[in-house]
Structure 1
Amino acid sequence: FATRLAPQSLLPEGEEAFPLEALPLLEEPGVALAAEITRWPQVVAGEEGLLEGILRAHLLGRRAEAHGAGASYAKLAALAAAGLDADHEALTAEEVLNRLRLGFWTMLRHSSLRPDLPALLEGLPLPPSPRLLLTTDGAAPSFYAREGFPGLLRRVSAWAGPIEALRLATLNPATFLALDGLLGGLAPGRLADFLLLEAPDAFAPLAVYVGGELVAREGRLLEPLPAPPWRKASLGFVRAPFGDPDRYLLGSAPVLRLENAVITRQTREASEGVAAFLLDPPGAGPGRSPG
């Protein structure tokens, strides 16, 4: 798992609402990465809380990853100096090479949200750097059903061959996460989680083993997926301070306008008449909502 050091949205109460000491997930044994620091300009500016979080991640043996969208070479150099190890926001081959020159583990991204891989591979030299990884980053479920990681591997295989493609999805990520003593290869003492392929370039697995046990064959699960050990969260509503305590009445409402597949903008729209939102409606039990 990966965890954030700060909320993605720039909320006025952000740092106060999410102090570092309130984020104990970095210490969980199942967490290997402080991921996707979207506030990279604040890292460049030397924001103390984020720098402390990156340092804390390293002291705990975790990696720390940037979200360096739009960062220039000089600012990427500042992010590297601040202790960030990786980035997944390269949009061109030259941006990939710049990240590799600065020592970043660099993720090649391809999904329904960001179909970047063809442009990234077009200008990269061979053989691939051992610091290259594959990621989907924001794919719709239909993308995984239609293409998924086998599709990414086929694209990389056409560029560098199947063995190098498999490295970008297995050994390289395991080494990046400092887990290559457990993952990314078959050897005594490592975790017995592996796939069986019909051939090196046939990326849809014939069988999947977890802990040495067969759990899927030819696309069909043989064992139920285990429930993650989520801790019980305590959530509640804040009641409206006026009128009926179960309703919010709005003259205008905040709206997210979709500019493109990646970017949204916040606006406010006047409501037609009065918009009412009912909290805990009568007859709606836990997990239910009115029709």
Structure 2
Amino acid sequence: MTQKTRSQRHQKQATPRRPLTMALPLAGAAMMVTPMVVDVSQQVSADEVGYSQAQQLINQIGPSASQIADQYDLYASVMIAQALLESGNGGSTLSSAPYYNLFGVKEYHGGPSVWLSTQEYLNGQWVTMSEPFRQYNSYYESLVDHANVLVSQGAMTGQPRYAGSFKRNAPSYYEATAALTGRYATDPTYGQKLNWLIQNYQLTQYDTGSSYVEATPVVEETATQSAQAAVQTTSGTTYTVVEGDSLWSIAQKYNVSLDDLIAKNNISGNLIVVGQQLTL
């Protein structure tokens, strides 16, 4: 089965990642009327199935996307729309169990993966090729990894590649999707597709107020967890990951470089789990 992915994606620092494409209804398109009788029941049924499938995925990931996006200063509506677009409304093989890869993330670092055929948009045309795609244990892991990619810093500039999509920089999701177009994806209509999905499925209901505070990431943890999180050892400082943590928030909290944190702990794909010990 062919897995369509987007035309430009970044893994960790510079690995390309690509999304699925999606056909959108043409605004103002007229229906050609002919003398013949046309049975539209099959088309209506197919449309209903597609809508139902998309809504099912939205119901599954919406609450988690809202929580994660708020923590990372992102628009949940944009994140969910990207998941719908790149997973074919949740119907692609890659986005289904046991892979749970909603965003077509590639795996080039030896982690759990599956090889699938993919269509890449190269030099103005679609080319079919086989690529290794990352495998997750849940949709939640896929969403967290995606958020980490959006806030990750470029190796050369030291600045977030997709800062234009952050809430503090984008007054609305329109500006966020525009900032991703031509940068996260080379498809010139990428933002239009995301906007259509956001409007059609009313995804702004999952957006919340920005929780971003300069140099003070929001990390939900109990007093006990906070006291036990950072521990001095003979070799340096270690940190125990708690629920709600991200590599970005930990790096900001302890004033360390995100790249250094990833390198010191040999982290692949920016994934961390609760209880994991990190060297600071």
- Band the TM-score falls in, shorter-chain normalisation: under 0.3
TM-score w.r.t. length of structure 1: 0.24
TM-score w.r.t. length of structure 2: 0.24
Query: Between Structure 1 and Structure 2, which shows a larger proportion of helix residues?
Result: 2
Larger Rg computed on CA atoms: 1
